[in-house]
Chains A and B, each alone.
Chain A
């Protein structure tokens, strides 16, 4: 198949950027969008031009490194799928596809499709580690965590930190991400000990760089890990709760 690509080119963080149009031919519907970019880059290098910069790592939906806006949608047209797993069969032969970086005020573009998503790391860092002197190893059954509870915690722990939710949000908020990170720790007994401190610091770091939530519900449509909207209510609960239970 053949596609016309309008791709965002930006030389560096001070450059204002523009779209550049490319034609790519002999594509396979089973290729991923990133493989298509690889094909295009080969073509560009062959012509002695500069390749398009973009991020990826695992290419199997587990690391959260990839992430581009395809036709205005974070990750691409298929819901709940990372860019690295989006297949070209979503497009008609001969279609025009617009590819740009994950847009958000807090994600400055470094080059072409590469953004700096360090703001998300700074939220995580503000939460600190779960660092406890737990003494000798406790009996394996001393603190029981039920199966359902673990499954629920894992629903939130599934977040891969890709930042698609921020880019989808009309307010540029990172509330789904932060809610997922805070909630999975709150649901387990040892990390729950520091829940109030963690909520205070992580929410402060989040609000420092990201916007407020108005509950548009756009984030959950693109989240590749299906993090539920409950993460948002949970984050608000943890922050309000920390007012009444100052632990540390």
Chain B
């Protein structure tokens, strides 16, 4: 076999003897779902999640432009592309992609978590405050809270399931959406506003550590590139936190009604 080295210099011939059997990595030893593959899945689904959150934030902030504009946006989301596409087409594509991502993300997280516990053994490691130890430790917890929150959020503002949704919840009709009224009604309940505010804190912790992890999982190694991407991750998380959490606060203090 003739192979040219990366430097483009003289061709070198590979003459590699078979390894003795005890040192060979047989196919059996390769995990069917390797950790690096699961991490890549988590990274990609996590980034899709973060992109969705950024888009969702952009939509949410329209609440400050008034009821009519916000409801029009909600209506547009369900009817974008008509008559080329059937009603709700885009919304459903987004729902399916996001649900798929969440399932892949959670399944990968669970497998990695179990493998980590097994490799750790009986004696737990004392945390000494590594670079991101605190956030990394929180990942499963913040993740589970996010999963529960997604259920609550959909029941509250999309499906209007009682008693999670407000009593005055209105379903969208073919000609109008009531997203603004539903949002104000939900956030006027202090416990609901509190859930949203606390969850935005947890979500931004998850996303800031997540986006940092992504950089390394997808192979960026230099200190400088890491620093740049960590800053982007942190900034995204701060925007999600401040932008979204401002809405329930604005409702509670009466700026929005």
Contact = CB atoms under 8 A, between A and B. Distances in A.
Interface in B1-28: 1, 3, 5-7, 9-10, 12-17, 19, 23, 25
B120 A104 contact: yes
Interface of A: 72-73, 100, 103-107, 122, 125-126, 128, 131-135, 138, 142-143, 167-173, 183, 189-190, 192-194, 201, 203-205, 207-222, 228-234, 236-241, 247-248
B239 to A, nearest CB: 22
A204 B128 contact: no
Contact of B125 (A103, A142, A190, A229): A103
Contacts of A208: 29, 31
A212 B219 contact: no
B40 to A, nearest CB: 7
Contacts of A72: 126
Interface in B107-144: 112, 115-116, 118-133, 136-137, 139
Contacts of A128: 16, 19, 23
B217 A236 contact: yes
B78 interface: no
A240 B40 contact: yes
A173 B9 contact: no
Contacts of A189: 5-7, 9
B118 A234 contact: no
| Contact count band on B | 35 or more
A199 to B, nearest CB: 9
Given A73-B126, A133-B13, A205-B29, A216 B132 contact: yes
Given A131-B17, A218-B133, A233 B216 contact: yes
14 contacts: A73-B128, A100-B123, A132-B13, A170-B120, A170-B125, A171-B115, A172-B118, A193-B5, A201-B25, A204-B25, A213-B35, A215-B132, A240-B40, A247-B3
Contact of A169 (B7, B25, B115, B125): B125
Nearest to A206: B35
Contacts, number: 201
A24 to B, nearest CB: 24
Given A172-B121, A212-B115, A214-B112, A236 B36 contact: yes
Contacts of B36: 203, 207, 236, 239-240
Given A143-B9, A213-B39, A234-B219, 7 more contacts: A125-B23, A135-B12, A135-B13, A143-B5, A170-B120, A170-B124, A237-B220
B123 A103 contact: yes
B159 interface: no
A128 B24 CA distance: 9
Interface string B35-56: 1101110000000000000000
Contacts of B19: 125, 128
B128 A168 contact: yes
A204 B34 contact: yes
Contacts of A132: 12-15
Nearest to A239: B36
A236 B125 contact: no
Closest 4 CB pairs of A and B: A237-B219, A211-B119, A217-B131, A105-B121
A236 B240 CA distance: 29
Nearest to B120: A172
Interface of B: 1, 3, 5-7, 9-10, 12-17, 19, 23, 25, 29-31, 34-36, 38-40, 112, 115-116, 118-133, 136-137, 139, 209, 212-213, 215-223, 226
B127 A218 contact: yes
Contacts of A105: 118-122
Contacts of B6: 189, 192-193
Most buried by A among B39, B123, B131, B226: B123
A220 B120 contact: no
B132 A171 contact: no
Contacts of B5: 143, 189-190, 192-193
A173 B119 contact: yes
A230 B223 contact: yes
Contact of B130 (A103, A122, A221, A239): A221
Nearest to A214: B136
Contacts of A100: 123
B120 A205 contact: no
